[in-house]
């Protein structure tokens, strides 16, 4: 129950008070003077929560005030522990220079030379090679380096000054340090509301995970697996759109409810289920570490499901994941059940290109099944089949795009995924056929596929082209974009068909009287696949940006704990580039300060033994960086000694905005977990010209030893330039556009909050069609009137970046930063829901409140 409570708290800011309150015997607290103790306890709890940036809602406050003193203490302790684990405040962050940023040396070279001299030349029982003192040189534990207590300040340093590795906390070299910076008052715009979880909190959370239509991140799948033991089969929707999520659900219920296997509608669904049963990735990116033996009953159940699938799609699906199915064949033993499940055995025979033994009962069953399907033929004793994908690819290779279009008409999703390729290769006299085919196919296609196709159609070729290969973590590959632009008339026609379909679907949803939208939503990318995304506090699609005030001080933080017996040296570094991506400067272990105070590093720690681990910080003064000629600022995490992040006991990196202490949990804007086999993480980039912080969350390929900015600076600039070129152009579908589709199709009055804080209104004329109204709204053309911000309190839907307003109870609200919005009185939704609501069958599903 504690794990489920942690999921509710992190995802929805709901406090499961029952799960977090420890059982208390009445005899243990009968003597307590309840009114005075509870009042003091509530005051202490609220003070601790405010320092972490949280407030109690009215209902949660009343619940806590009604508890006994021991129960309140237990609930408060459990709640604070969960919140601290989220932000990283649950560990003591001690940088190399404990007086950071004031005591960081101004001259990194002198600091380095003194370290080298002392390490190489210092001898036992000899005067210090730096100052000549004869009595101040002593070894430190456990590295045994000879350290002069006069030259090196044990009250400021937290590690051996010569090797920069952590030393025994009880070593006499480490002196009591000066007092840290006291915590200041938490700004009101950082406070977030904690609400009391209701009895349906688990159900609504599970439903929100199941109905989403974009592939989830690993943390979403882990959260679902935590909540599934509390889930009933009747809660499942009629369809679970994301196949990876469906595999997790089927695997959970399979033992007790075998009929749930019918939800697996393709061979790939069954393969995902097999991977899940073997504790592997249902996204099929990495094979199981070891193949787990399945019971005979389970094998028969899976083969029976395969046997009920159409033979052509069954074989084609299996050939699409040929190597994976060959491995699974060794677990399923399909030929053992060939007489009972001949179609499944036939698919494996084609897959394996097996010699079919005509004399055996299994061989006869397979050949008899093959005879019923003319697309399977026997050549030299082996069964073969030409797949749909090979026919489409062959049509393109042979220069027959018209044939490819005719084939793709049969599969609407594949048609839209290859839309740009078709648009470039079809001759002009067939463009009308393509537009007609898209108009027919688009009604059956997922909204995520439509938005991806729309972004590709509208985005002209740039200087660089981006690719994201499938893998355990998000990597990026780029090349020069040599493609020709699409014909403008064709691009406009295709865009019109795609947008028109989204507006048509939105028109079928319940009407709104008024919508209130924030212009800043244009900075956020529309929801997409989150496979490979790092676990983070705030979920945004890669390429999204948030505004940052130019006078802000940003503090980056990195924390890690190395596994026992293995040293791990991580480095938090910052690279600065100019207007044309020319290198301006850096701040890392080789240069602790850049342009005096523009960038200040807390010092390089080269080990992180448990349980405390190590922390590094970098302060960024954005105004001074701009004056120094910088425009793009790229924080990077390097594994210097080439140890993958997934070998860490724990690791995370993040950013604070205007912290009031060394580590201020209320100031944490974002936090990324270090995970997967990667060794270099580029979490985000800062554009000092547009005053935006854009989420990248990508990993760079690395090989060898000694990873740092000097080695990868050019590669970082190339990757970031490509990301800015693609995501900064404004041609990709944004969350603003998705919200405008909803608003224009569902409401006749729309209020828009502009960048300067003013509110304007758009009114749909009765003679104006939805498409024209949406176009006018999306482009933010001349508004119809001026409104006050009070319009948000009278709206049925509110979409904003920050929840700094007061919608009426029951309003559906999207807010990237909810702040003080109460999840128990408002229908808080996430970005994925806004897109999922535009699914072809969205009318069959009721809205799921978050």
Q: pLDDT value at position 442?
A: 94
Whether 511 maps to a domain, the answer reads yes
Classify residue 424: in a domain, yes or no.
yes
Better-predicted residue by pLDDT, 35 or 505: 505
Q: Is residue 151 part of a domain?
A: no
pLDDT given for residue 523 in this prediction: 92
What residues contact residue 268 under an 8 Å CB cut-off, 6+ apart?
Answer: 243, 284, 317, 320, 321
**Alpha-carbon gap, residue 274 to 295, rounded angstroms:** 12
Q: Are residues 273 and 331 both part of a single domain?
A: no
Q: Mark whether 590 and 693 lie in a shared domain.
A: yes
Residue 292 per-residue DSSP state: P
Same domain assignment for residues 431 and 504:
no
Task: Of 126-135, 416-425, 703-712, give the range with the top mean pLDDT.
Answer: 416-425
pLDDT score at 25: 56
786/840 same-domain check: yes
Structure confidence at residue 757 (pLDDT): 87
pLDDT digits (tens, 9 = 90+) for 118-147: 999 989 889 999 999 888 999 999 999 999
44, 72, 87: which is the final residue of a domain? 87
User: Same domain, yes or no, for 803 and 781?
Assistant: yes
Could you give the CA distance from residue 414 to residue 407 in angstroms, rounded to a whole number?
A: 10
Instruction: Examine the domain organization and report whether 563 and 698 are in the same domain.
Output: yes
Structural domains counted in the chain = 7
Q: What percent of the chain has pLDDT over 70?
A: 95
pLDDT of residue 275: 95
645 with 550, same domain?
A: yes
Q: Does residue 177 lie within any of the structural domains?
A: no
Name, in order, each residue with C-beta under 8 angstroms of 291's C-beta and a sequence gap of 6 or more: 278, 327, 328, 330, 331
Q: Domain range spanning residue 400?
A: 387-444
571 shares its domain with 690: yes
The answer to whether position 245 is within a domain reads: yes
Residue with tokens 């850096």: 586
Q: What is the pLDDT averaged over residues 109-114?
A: 94
pLDDT at 696 over 70: yes
Closest of 304, 297, 378, 292 to residue 341, by C-alpha? 304
pLDDT digits (tens, 9 = 90+) for 171-192: 999 988 755 555 667 777 788 9
Contacts of 514 by beta carbon, 8 Å cutoff, 6+ apart: 747, 749, 750, 751, 791, 794, 795, 796
Tell me the C-alpha to C-alpha distance, in Å, between residue 162 and each of 141, 169, 592: 12, 16, 16
From CA 813, how far away is CA 793, in angstroms rounded? Answer: 11
Among 410, 472, 461, which residue's Cα sits nearest to residue 437?
A: 410
The answer to whether residue 197 sits within a structural domain is no
Encoding tokens for residue 36?
Answer: 């005075």
Q: Which of 268, 292, 316 is the last residue of a domain?
A: 292
**Band of residue 752 on the pLDDT scale cut at 50, 70, 90:** very high
Residues 688 and 565 reside in one and the same domain: yes
For residues 517 and 501, membership in a common domain is answered with yes
pLDDT tens digits for 768-781?
999 999 999 999 99
Would residue 152 count as lying in a domain? no
Query: CA 598, CA 595: separation in Å to the nearest integer?
Result: 5
Residue 603, pLDDT > 90, answer yes
Query: Given this model, what pLDDT does residue 179 score?
Result: 58
Distance (Å, whole) CA 382 – CA 349: 8
DSSP structure string for 453-498 = HHHHHH----SEEEE---SSS-B-EEEE--PPPPPHHHHHHHHHHH
Other beta carbons within 10 Å of 538: 13
Among 727, 761, 782, give the residue marking a domain's end.
727
Q: To which residue do tokens 């559906």 refer?
A: 812
Instruction: Tell me which of 255-259, 389-393, 459-463, 602-606 is least confident.
Output: 459-463
Give yes or no: residues 368 and 514 share one domain.
no
The residues pairing with 655 across neighbouring beta strands, listed in sequence order, are 556, 670
161 falls within a domain: no
- Burial of 832 by CB count in 10 Å (0-12 exposed, 13-18 middle, 19+ buried)? buried
Q: Look at residue 32 and tell me whether its pLDDT is greater than 80.
A: no
Residue 38 in tokens: 């509870």
pTM for the full model? 0.89
Residue 773's pLDDT is 96
Q: Is the pLDDT at 56 greater than 80, yes or no?
A: yes
Mean pLDDT computed over 287-293: 83
pLDDT at position 182 is 58
| Percent over 90 (pLDDT), the chain | 66
- Report the CATH number that the domain containing residue 816 is assigned in CATH: 3.40.50
18, 56: one domain: yes
């Amino acid at each position: 129950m504690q794990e489920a409570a942690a999921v509710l708290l992190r995802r929805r800011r709901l406090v499961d008070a029952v799960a977090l309150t420890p059982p208390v015997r009445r005899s243990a607290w009968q003597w307590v003077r309840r009114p005075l103790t509870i009042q003091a306890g509530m005051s202490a709890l609220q003070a601790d929560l405010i320092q972490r940036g949280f407030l109690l809602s009215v209902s949660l406050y009343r619940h806590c005030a009604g508890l006994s003193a021991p129960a309140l203490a237990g609930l408060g302790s459990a709640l604070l522990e969960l919140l601290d684990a989220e932000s990283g405040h649950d560990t003591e962050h001690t940088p190399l220079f404990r007086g950071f940023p004031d005591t960081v040396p101004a001259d990194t070279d002198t600091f380095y030379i003194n370290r080298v001299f002392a390490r190489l030349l210092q001898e036992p029982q000899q005067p210090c090679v730096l100052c000549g003192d004869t009595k101040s040189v002593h070894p430190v534990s456990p590295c045994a380096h000879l350290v002069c207590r006069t030259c090196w300040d044990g009250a400021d340093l937290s590690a051996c000054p010569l090797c920069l590795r952590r030393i025994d906390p009880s070593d006499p070299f480490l002196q009591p340090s000066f007092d840290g910076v006291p915590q200041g008052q938490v700004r009101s715009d950082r406070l977030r509301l904690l609400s009391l979880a209701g009895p349906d909190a688990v159900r609504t959370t599970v439903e929100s995970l199941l109905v989403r239509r974009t592939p989830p991140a690993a943390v979403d799948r882990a959260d679902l697996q935590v909540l599934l033991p509390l889930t009933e089969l009747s809660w499942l929707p009629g369809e679970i759109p994301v196949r990876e999520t469906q595999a997790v659900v089927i695997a959970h219920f399979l033992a007790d409810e075998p009929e749930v296997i019918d939800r697996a509608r393709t061979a790939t669904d069954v393969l995902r289920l097999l991977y899940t049963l073997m504790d592997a990735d249902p996204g099929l990116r990495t094979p199981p570490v070891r193949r787990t033996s399945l019971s005979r009953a389970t094998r028969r159940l899976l083969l029976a499901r395969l046997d009920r699938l159409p033979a052509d799609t069954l074989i084609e699906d299996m050939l699409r994941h040929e190597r994976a199915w060959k491995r699974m064949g060794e677990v399923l033993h399909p030929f053992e059940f060939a007489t009972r499940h001949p179609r499944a055995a036939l698919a494996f025979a084609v897959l394996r290109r097996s010699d079919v033994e005509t004399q055996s009962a299994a061989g006869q069953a397979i050949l008899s099944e093959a005879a019923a399907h003319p697309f399977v033929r026997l050549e030299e004793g082996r069964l073969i089949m030409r797949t749909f994908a090979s026919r489409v690819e062959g049509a393109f290779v042979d220069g027959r795009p018209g044939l490819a279009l005719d084939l793709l008409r049969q599969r609407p999703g594949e048609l839209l995924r290859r839309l740009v390729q078709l648009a470039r290769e079809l001759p002009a006299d067939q463009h009308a056929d393509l537009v007609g085919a898209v108009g027919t196919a688009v009604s059956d296609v997922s909204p995520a596929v439509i938005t991806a196709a729309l972004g590709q159609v509208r985005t002209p070729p740039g200087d660089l082209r981006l690719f994201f290969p499938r893998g355990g973590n998000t990597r990026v590959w780029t090349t020069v974009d040599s493609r020709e632009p699409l014909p403008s008339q064709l691009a406009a026609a295709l865009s019109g068909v795609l947008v028109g379909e989204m507006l048509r679907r939105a028109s079928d949803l319940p009407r709104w009287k008024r919508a209130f939208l924030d212009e800043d939503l244009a900075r956020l990318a529309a929801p997409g696949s989150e496979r490979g995304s790092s676990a983070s506090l705030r979920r945004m699609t890669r390429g999204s940006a948030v505004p940052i005030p130019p006078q802000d001080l940003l503090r980056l933080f990195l924390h890690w704990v190395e596994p026992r017996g293995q040293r791990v040296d991580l480095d938090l570094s910052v690279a600065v580039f100019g207007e044309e991506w020319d290198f301006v400067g850096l701040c890392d272990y080789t240069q602790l300060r850049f342009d005096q105070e523009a960038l200040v590093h807390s010092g390089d720690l080269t080990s992180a033994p448990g349980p405390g681990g190590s922390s590094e910080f970098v302060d960024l003064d954005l105004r001074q960086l701009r004056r120094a000629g910088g425009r793009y600022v790229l924080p990077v995490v390097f594994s210097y000694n080439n140890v993958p992040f997934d070998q860490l006991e724990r690791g995370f990196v993040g950013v604070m905005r205007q912290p009031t202490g060394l580590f201020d949990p209320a100031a944490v804007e974002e936090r990324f977990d270090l995970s997967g086999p990667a060794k270099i993480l580029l979490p985000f980039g800062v554009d000092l010209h547009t005053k935006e912080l854009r989420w990248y969350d990508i990993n760079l390929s690395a090989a060898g030893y000694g990873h740092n900015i000097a080695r990868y600076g050019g590669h970082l600039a190339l990757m970031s330039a490509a990301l800015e070129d693609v995501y900064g152009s404004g041609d990709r579908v944004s969350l603003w556009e998705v919200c405008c589709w909803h608003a224009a199709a569902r409401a006749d009055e729309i209020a828009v909050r502009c960048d300067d804080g003013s509110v304007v209104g758009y009114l749909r004329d009765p003679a104006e069609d939805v498409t024209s109204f949406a176009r006018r709204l999306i482009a933010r053309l001349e508004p119809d009137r001026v409104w006050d911000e009070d319009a948000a309190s009278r709206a049925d839907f509110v979409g904003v970046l920050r929840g700094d307003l007061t919608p009426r109870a029951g309003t559906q609200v999207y807010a990237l930063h909810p702040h003080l919005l109460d999840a128990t009185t408002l229908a808080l939704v996430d970005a994925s829901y806004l897109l999922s609501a535009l699914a072809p069958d969205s009318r069959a599903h009721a809205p799921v409140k978050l």
